[in-house]
Amino acid sequence: MMRLVLGLSLGSALLLSGCRQDGPAKPDEGGKPDTGNAGMADEDGDGWVVSTGDCDDNNAAIHPGAEELCDGLDNDCDGLIDEDSIQVWYQDGDSDGYGDAGVSQTACEQPDGFIADATDCDDTDATIHPLADEDCDDPVDRNCDGSVGYADADGDGSPACEDCNDQNPAQSPEAAEVCDANNTDEDCDGLVDDADPSVDTATQTAWYTDGDGDGYGDSALVTMACDGAGSIYDGDCNDADPAYNPGAPEIDCADPNDYNCD
């Protein structure tokens, strides 16, 4: 009887040891953990476990590589929360469409009374913002440019509220309109160069009508302008025939025609 018991015990031991001969289970081919291994359970079934980076194994929407949502959670397990969608919003206390850089909050959605702009220099007065108009008699900096209406930043004698460019002394209502390559409105009347009847004629160019297109114009047909049609060279003695101009060669001594207009 004792031999039978010993035989059964030995056989059971061999049988139990035989169940473990294949060794520990291995991860599957996708690199995901084998959920059958002890301590490697995928509780939320998202294919990730704590040992492979899942920072919340009770929520299938949270794991490495997940889309980061604006929900106050670290969805992609990178240690940051809402980093892809959170934004800084600035208070618009006077509802003028411009925010106060000194009062802000971060949020995914725009909070009431806050906007994305931060350029208002006085958020308690809706008449003060970067696009506000200024009055020369008003000592308040209404357009947030750092100067009040009567300031003259470029020293050209015109107040900022009347000057079309208070950073350029060559531009002011008192300046003379001149021809220039940059098409600048020197006298601040909204007209530039030839479009401005007050343009300084001394800066204009003489343009000669070049009827035959030979590069030389008729001296009698001249127009003064900043830009014009024709040629800046005159002296064409026959503007109907391109063979005649100051740069043309003479044919020969027997030819009675004056091709070079000399």
Q: What is the pLDDT of residues 104-162, one digit of tens each?
A: 998 888 999 999 999 999 999 999 999 998 888 888 999 998 888 788 889 999 988 88
Give the CA diameter of the chain: 152
DSSP-derived secondary structure letter, 28: -
pLDDT at 248: 87
Neighbours of 3 (CB within 10 A): 7
Structure tokens at 47: 């294919």
CB-CB contact of 96 with 104 (8 Å): no
Mean pLDDT of all residues in 10-16: 38
Rg of the chain over all Cα atoms, to the nearest angstrom: 43
pLDDT at 6: 32
Amino acid in position 54:
D
CA 165 to chain centre: 23
pLDDT at 165: 92
pLDDT at 169: 95
Q: Record the pTM.
A: 0.42
Q: Using 50, 70 and 90 to split pLDDT, how confident is the model at 10?
A: very low
Residue 217 to residue 38: CA distance in whole angstroms: 99
Strands 114-115 and 205-208, sheet pairing = unpaired
